[in-house]
Amino acid sequence: MLYPRETRTREIKDLCGIWRFKVDKENKGYEQRWFERPLEDAILMPVPSSYNDITQDESIRDHIGDVWYERTFYIPESWKGKRIVLRVGSATHHAKLFLNGKEIAQNKGGFLPFEVEINKFAQIGCENRLTIVVNNILDWSCLPPGFIREYKDSMHPDGYKTQEYLFDFFNYSGIHRPVLLYTTSKTYIEDIRVKTQIDGKKGIVCFKVVVDGEKKNECQIEATLYNRDGGQIAKVEGPEGMIKVENAIFWEPSNPYLYKLNVTLVHDGKAIDEYYLPVGIRTVEVKGKRLYLNGKPVYLKGLAKHEDSDIRGKGYDPVIAVKDFNLLKWIGANSFRTSHYPYAEEILNLADEYGFLVIDEAPAVGMNFFNKNEKVFIPERVNQNTLEHHLEVIRRLIARDKNHPCVIMWSVANEAATYEDGAYEYFKRVINEVRKLDKTRPVTLVESSFPDETKVAGLVDVICVNRYYSWYSDPGRLDLIEFQLEKELKRWFELYQKPVIVTEYGADTIAGFHSSPPMMFSEEYQCEMLERYHRVFDRLNFVIGEHIWNFADFATKQEVRRIMGNRKGIFTRQRQPKMAAFLLKKRWESMKENK
């Protein structure tokens, strides 16, 4: 799936901005056919953004069910004869789209884009009304999964229900990423797949173009590779080919050099469609104890993130995005994980450009009660339906992100109950699907299980493990970290002989809380904890990366163990550094690329 870009043949109309919005409190919208006419009693709502924190009304913040978004737009006369596509960057978690009162699309899954050709439904040269119904209910067939709980008893005579989920971030909802219209010619470039290799100083760019539309068999394809300054390197004809780049500049964090592949579709001697793709020439490989980027060992320094910020919730905002990349650069990181779902493609575009190595994660989080008596991989919970959806999400994720040089690894899930018997068959199917679709990147599953109990570690290329010694276990006992961590990490390596990344470790820290000697929740405790972890990492040569939990404080549901959210950020939610940020900056800036 190609990211929408303007070219000399393609136009974009941005539908972001202020939409009309209505919460369907009584669940009557479909029955009363709200899609047939302009929404009555609507309020204003920005897109993209979560809707939860925009108003002063907690019944909107905590709503469970449908909300309705609506806006009008014009399609210019000049778009006659073009293919017109509506693309929604994401709508969390389910969406139904109506154009001028007619249903045109549905989508399940809140973290990936979907698009629909609207020529049949749109009115050219006049106003069109677009309605998007977004539903945020999670069940066991969704990723992430969830379930509804109803309370009705003598203490709750009126009853109420809650959306339950086993993951640790607020279930922000709404239209989270840009909504766009874009045009192509009727016969068009549907997809491009690029793979790169390295041969000494040479870079090899292999490409494959997929064309669709009535005249697809009558078209020629031209692919031209340019360097960053616009100098032409080679021009090749045909739907697939290979371009050799002498003395290539390889894409890496210290020099994220991007070439540009321009693809033109020619019909009757005329360029009818054109698209370009930034291309980073780089290879990723896991061999023995190490991860190699362009044949050189690389050590991952960084943080796990969230799409989360004040007011916007999970809404994409270029202001927050660029600030976050500046902070990642400032702190000396070279990588991050898209915990716990695919991020906006705009973020990956920036990671390509800034030069960050990304572990790209599927939205499979919360498949674990952390209680061995409550199983998850059983027919009434994570079952065949969940698996089908998981496979579909994997296909869509790889279809979207396959060409990004920043993506160096796929993570199929976070902290699933991998000690359960059912987990093995389930993840075998998921991981096989990843391997079938992409042979150029390693695959992982982020574990919270211990080395002797997991059933899936044999399936992955890199062991990724989240661990909270001296926090969730032995709280306050910083002195136990080194012994426990070293023992565990050595066991992972002994059993699986695979490199290990510690993908989460950290401590809730309230900015401004101080304590010496360190106590939990103080800035000193966070620093001391990190330092002890780092001493262990530095002793073990099979540890190939450290990702702290979390980049910034973030919102969670209200519960007693969360103080206005999860406070394990190295930065506050407003992106101000805690003491630990300076410690990390010092460590990472003085570390070599391969540790």
Binding site residues, ligand BDP, CB under 6 A: 168, 340, 414-415, 448, 466, 504, 549, 566, 568
**In the complex, minimum distance from the CB of residue 446 to ligand BDP, in angstroms, rounded to a whole number:** 7
> Closest approach of Cβ 432 to ligand BDP, in Å?
24
Pairing mode, if any, of strands 284-287 and 290-293? antiparallel
Dihedral angle computed from the Cα positions of residues 66, 71, 77 and 78, in that order, rounded to the nearest 10 degrees: -80
DSSP E strand stretches across 289-439: 290-293, 296-297, 300-304, 335-337, 357-361, 407-414
Compare residues 415 and 546 and give the one whose CB is closer to ligand BDP: 415
- Examine the residue annotation and report whether 285 is marked as an active-site residue of this protein: no
Minimum distance from CB of 504 to ligand BDP (Å)? 6
Comparing CA positions, the residue from 23, 75, 64, 69 lying closest to residue 46 is: 69
For residue 245, give both structure tokens.
């780049």
Quick one: 404 or 578, whose CB is closer to ligand BDP? 578
Q: Look up residue 107 and give its amino acid.
A: N
Residue nearest to ligand BDP (CB): 168
Please name which of 579, 453, 581, 483 lies closest in space to residue 524, comparing C-alpha atoms. 579
Write down the least CB distance from residue 503 to ligand BDP, Å.
8
In 3D space, the residue among 425, 426, 430 whose CA is nearest the CA of residue 443 turns out to be: 430
> Cα–Cα distance between 500 and 290 in angstroms, integer?
9
**DSSP code per residue over 508-558:** -B-TT---SS--TBSHHHHHHHHHHHHHHHHH-TTEEEEEEE-SB-B----
- Kindly tell me which of 168 and 433 has the beta carbon lying closer to ligand BDP: 168
Q: Give the DSSP per-residue string, 46-102.
A: EESS-STTTSS-HHHHT--SEEEEEEEEE--GGGTTSEEEEEES-EESEEEEEETTE
Q: What gap in Å lies between CA 131 and CA 144, rounded to an integer?
A: 25
Other beta carbons within 10 angstroms of residue 498's beta carbon come to 20
**Between residues 439 and 561, which has the closer beta carbon with respect to ligand BDP?**
561
Dist. CA 480–CA 276, nearest whole Å: 53
The reply to whether 214 belongs to the active site is no
> Which CB, 168 or 461, lies closer to ligand BDP?
168
Tell me whether residue 196 or residue 466 sits nearer to ligand BDP (CB atom).
466
User: Of the two residues 305 and 312, which places its CB atom closer to ligand BDP in the complex?
Assistant: 305
Residues 306, 310, 316, CA angle at the centre, nearest 5°? 55
Q: What share of the chain is helix, strand, coil (3-state, %, to 5)?
A: 20, 35, 45
- Write down the least CB distance from residue 235 to ligand BDP, Å: 47
* Least distance CB 414 / ligand BDP (angstroms): 5
Identity of the residue, 183 or 566, whose beta carbon is nearer to ligand BDP in the bound complex: 566
Spot the catalytic one: 415, 420, 488, 546: 415
Q: Which residues contact 232 (CB under 8 A, 6 or more apart)?
A: 224, 225, 226
Query: In the bound complex, what is the minimum distance in angstroms from residue 403's beta carbon to ligand BDP?
Result: 28
d(CA 270, CA 224): 16
Determine contact, residues 265/552, Cβ cutoff 8 Å. Answer: no
Going by C-alpha positions, the residue among 395, 474, 386, 340 that lies closest to residue 114 is: 395
CB atoms within 10 A of CB 301: 25
Q: Which is nearer to ligand BDP, 150 or 559 (CB)?
A: 559
User: Taking the complex as a whole, how short is the minimal distance between the CB of residue 573 and ligand BDP, in angstroms?
Assistant: 14
**What is the C-alpha end-to-end distance of the chain, expressed in Å?**
36
Closer to ligand BDP at the Cβ: 133 or 570?
570
Q: Least distance to ligand BDP from the beta carbon of 137, Å? A: 21
515: left (phi over 0), alpha (psi -120 to 50) or beta: beta
The tokens describing 298, both together, are: 């690389």
The active-site residue, picked from 345, 504, 528, 546, is 504
**Three-state SS at 225:** strand
Phi, psi of 431 (to 5 degrees): -70, -35
Provide the residue type at 5 as one letter.
R
The set of catalytic residues is: 415, 504
